[in-house]
Amino acid sequence: MARAYGANASLLAAFEPSYGTHPSGTTEYWKLPFVSTSLGSEQGLIANDLIGLGRDPSAPIRDVIKVEGDMVVPIDLRNFGLWLKALLGAPVSTGDVDHQHTFGSGQPVLPSLALETGLPDIPAYFESSGVMVNSVQVKFARSGAADATLGLIAQGEVKQLVSVDATPQALGITRFNQFQGSIKKNGQALGNVVAAQLTFSNNLARIETIRSDGKIEGADPTVASLTGNLEVRFADTDLIDAATNNAPLELTFSYVIDATKSLTFIAHEVYLPKPKLSISGPGGIQATFNWQAAKNTAAGRMFTVILHNDVASY
CA distances from 60 to 44, 53, 171, 218 (A): 10, 14, 47, 27
User: What was the pLDDT predicted at 1?
Assistant: 62
CA 61 from centroid of its chain's CA atoms: 34
Query: Of all residues in the chain, what percent carry a pLDDT higher than 70?
Result: 100
State the burial class of residue 79 (Cβ atoms within 10 Å of its Cβ: 0-12, 13-18, 19+). buried
Does the pLDDT value for residue 152 go beyond 70? Answer: yes
pLDDT for 232-286, tens place per residue? 988 788 898 889 899 999 999 999 999 999 999 999 999 999 888 778 888 888 8
User: What would the DSSP string read from start to end of 189-212?
Assistant: E--SEEEEEEEEE--PEEE----T
Among 107, 117, 116, 115, CA closest to 85: 107
User: What was the pLDDT predicted at 200?
Assistant: 99
Instruction: State the first-to-last Cα distance of the chain, in angstroms, to the nearest integer.
Output: 41
Query: Of all residues in the chain, what percent carry a pLDDT higher than 90?
Result: 85
Does the pLDDT value for residue 287 go beyond 90? Answer: no
Cis? peptide before 123, omega within 30° of 0: yes
Does the pLDDT value for residue 205 go beyond 90? Answer: yes
pTM above 0.75, yes or no: yes
pLDDT for 10-67, tens place per residue? 999 999 999 999 898 778 899 999 999 999 999 999 999 999 999 999 999 999 889 9
